[in-house]
Structure 1
Amino acid sequence: MEILERKDYFLQLLAEHILIASGALTITAIVGISLGIWVFYSSKTRGFVLSLVNFLYTIPSIAMFGLLIPLVGIGLKNALIVLVLYGLLPMVRNTYTGLSEVRADVVEAAQGMGATRYQIFRDVYFPLALPSIIAGLRVTTVMLVALTGLAALIGAGGLGQAIFRGLNTMNTAMIVAGSLGISILAILMDRWVGVFEHRLVRVVSKNAAPKQRIAVQINVAALALVIGLAVFYINPFQSSHTHTVTVASKPTSEQFILGEIMAQLIEKETDLKVIRKFGIGGGTTNIHPALLKGELDMYVEYTGTGWMSVLKEKLPADKQVDIQAIQALYQKNYKLHWMGLLGFNNTYALAIHDSMASKFNMSSCSDLALNSQFFEFGAEFDFFERIDGYQGLVDTYGFKFASIHEMDINLRYNAMLQGKVNAIDAFTTDAKIVANELKVLKDDLNYFPSYEAGIVIRQEVLDEYPALEAVLSKLNNKIDTETMMQMNYEVELANKEPKEVAKQFIQQL
């Protein structure tokens, strides 16, 4: 069973999920209740605050994570801010509603007895509004536990990492395990708030027996114990320890494998501790800024992406990016060092099924252009935005596809098998090209540039740990296209773990 076989990995993710969700919930409860009280007493700011929290709630969560990256980077800080912003609406609304619905005659009676404004709030408003506040807390709890799953996209960890890794490596068991873990955690936390609610209302209203007061304290202590165990298990401050480096990867099987190869080689050859931040959503778009901020230390990049997307340089006539040129510009502009090239070129290609290639007698992209009206084309979101992506491809070949479908990078082949599309973009090291009996069309007009893989590392890290250069240089020209495709096959189709495949490669290095 997937969970039992990898219990340490899932316990790590569970601990991270509990910490992120509970931290966000605590901050949201404090800020949300405070804002709810404020807007209740301040009619001048009420409309603005309530409109603001409504507006924040309408922004798609994935977009919010991305929008904050330039400001706060990736990781825990970004995740907490987004989760708190999303959790404010039910907390503020329910707090304000609960206070507003307190009967006026009860308040007037307290005023008639000479109670101060603070005493009226403490002994009348808050106790009577508490059920509504707790109801908001229950909604917020379930919502935050679920949304925490998306935090894995920005390298914050949690059970969502298992889901995205499962999607990236086509591991259904991992997807189910991650999803089930989030669901069970949400149910348990909702149950805890429900049990806590009844007892807390009695304590606040001063109608509780001593046993009920003790029960509330036990509930709080139990939650604190769970959070404490999570902190102890994952040691969230490990990134501040000395002799630590952080290896990142994009959200593809190939990148998971290469990330593991780097991490395991460093652990084997040095005494450095490696923190793995794999499967970061957005790829280069999010990893490069995080590298510049020092949140990440190294990852595998491709020359074409680095040259056009990062450096914003025009391709030479032969579409080949010179490694010395890109090394010099990365060093000059960003203080980043290209270690060299790993040995394979994972460039773009267009692929159709063998049967379609035979039917239309096609072998090149120009052939596809002549018959493009019979094809429905699918590609990942990024392909439609890249300089070397869809629009340039259309301008070069004159494609007029019957329809266009944008999708997650890991769903292209599934869409092909299900008949949703019959032409896709592919990478030349994709193992599924052979497994799914696809025909890679020749780029006869030489549109796609070279995408040779190489390790990019912060110069500051190399200066601090100079031994890393010799260690990582051992990978230069050691992974050819066939080797990379085979390793991708073992992960995506033979259902091996990237960690296992990487270990086997290092043993043969």
Structure 2
Amino acid sequence: MRSKMKRAAAACLCMVMLISLTACGGNKDSDAKGNKEAEKSSVIRVGSKDFTEGMIVSEIYALALEDAGYQVERVFDIAGSVIHTSIVNDEIDLYPEYTGTGLLSVLGMDLITDPQEVYDTVKDEYEKQFQLTWLDYSQANDGQGLVIRTDLAKELGIKTISDLQKHASELRFASQGEFNEREDGIPALEKTYGKFDWKSSKVYDGGLKYEVLSSDEADVTPAYTTEGPLADKDKFTLLEDDKHVWPPYNLAPVVRDNILKANPDIADILNAISAKMDTESITALNAKVDVEKEDYEDVASEYYESIK
């Protein structure tokens, strides 16, 4: 009898140990899976468009995230025509975008010129259509503009596009050609400001526009408002679009919703960066790379250290 009882007790003990081991094994598998998921979610894929400004700003984002303890994978040099598809297809987690690009190029909506209204519109539509979040927009605006040689601007008292229109007959205009015909180029300007009766109008390669101005072959040319050469205000003056013919192109991080839900502090990290950026600072960063030929990573690192 005692022998049977001992055998039964031993069997029970073995069963308990087996259940315990199985449970422990299950916990290990679960923990391992959980750790892998945690590791995966902690890697943030930062995308960048394929031009200087895009890479500088994306690198600044990446540095800020790394400083906060995130592991970052840089997916840079993506063509502007496909970067929206990249984030929608889960190939990247975030990238810097322009509010005007979101409004006109991605959403295909009508022109809006108020910065806050543009931002509110793209923020709402991106959330509804793509499950993407626009974080705070910065004051850095890389939009369309007109630039004049500073010596002439001072001589003629030209500060705005309205001033320019009044003096157009005294000035030589240079463009890459497309601007003269494009809906948001000369046609939009003349619809808003009146006709521009230039002294002369010639077509040059767009990459040579600042050389054309510097060599006194022309006086005025279209520009994007954060181009590096514009940092030299002794040479070039960016005119105020005082009647707001062009939409704003404010920089802001666009982030996948699932990434923000898993890592809500990313919003605070990147919003703090946006709060420091403006058109003048971004122009200066572009100048260091495009004019002074510094490495974009060094430029981004130096700037990040100065604002963090």
- TM-score (norm. length: structure 2): 0.71
Aligned to 1:323: 119
Which of residues 380, 383, 393 in structure 1 aligns to 2:189? 393
How many residues are paired up? Answer: 264
Q: Distance in 1 between matches of 2:295 and 2:187?
A: 36
1:416–1:338 distance in 2 versus 1, CA, 3 Å? same
Which of residues 250, 257, 260 in structure 2 aligns to 1:462? 260
Give the CA deviation at 1:390: 4.2
Is 1:497–2:298 an aligned residue pair? Answer: no
Aligned to 1:413: 210
Which of residues 236, 248, 255 in structure 2 aligns to 1:438? 236
The Cα offsets for residues 241-285 of structure 1, whole Å up to 9 and x where unpaired, read as 94544333334432221011012222332342312313x44x3x3
Higher relative contact order (CA 8 A, sep 6+): 2
1:376–1:317 distance in 2 versus 1, CA, 3 Å? closer
Is 1:473–2:271 an aligned residue pair? Answer: yes
Which of residues 158, 177, 195 in structure 2 aligns to 1:362? 158
- Counterpart residue identity of residue 499, structure 1: E
Give the CA deviation at 1:498: 1.6
Gaps of 5+ in 1: 1-240
Which of residues 425, 447, 452 in structure 1 aligns to 2:222? 425
1:464–1:385 distance in 2 versus 1, CA, 3 Å? farther
Q: Determine helix, strand or coil for the equivalent of 1:475.
A: helix
> Does the CA-based 8 Å contact 2:100-2:118 persist in structure 1?
no
Aligned to 1:349: 145
Aligned to 1:246: 45
- Counterpart residue identity of residue 257, structure 1: I
1:242–1:406 distance in 2 versus 1, CA, 3 Å? farther
Q: Distance in 2 between matches of 1:461 and 1:387?
A: 38
Give the CA deviation at 1:320: 4.9
Which of residues 44, 64, 73 in structure 2 aligns to 1:265? 64
Aligned to 2:26: none
Q: Determine helix, strand or coil for the equivalent of 1:321.
A: helix
Q: Distance in 2 between matches of 1:445 and 1:429?
A: 20
- TM-score (norm. length: structure 1): 0.45
Structure with the bigger percentage of strand: 2
> Does the CA-based 8 Å contact 2:113-2:247 persist in structure 1?
no
Q: How does 1:306-317 map to 2 (within 5 A)?
A: 306-316=102-112
Aligned to 1:449: 247
Aligned to 1:378: 175
Which of residues 268, 271, 292 in structure 1 aligns to 2:88? 292
Q: Distance in 2 between matches of 1:258 and 1:484?
A: 9
1:271–1:367 distance in 2 versus 1, CA, 3 Å? closer
Percent of aligned positions with the same letter in both sequences? 27
Q: Determine helix, strand or coil for the equivalent of 1:248.
A: strand
Gaps of 5+ in 2: 1-38
Q: How does 1:167-206 map to 2 (within 5 A)?
A: none
1:303–1:390 distance in 2 versus 1, CA, 3 Å? farther
1:400–1:258 distance in 2 versus 1, CA, 3 Å? same
Q: Determine helix, strand or coil for the equivalent of 2:273.
A: coil
Q: Distance in 2 between matches of 1:361 and 1:470?
A: 43
Give the CA deviation at 1:419: 4.8
Give the CA deviation at 1:353: 0.6
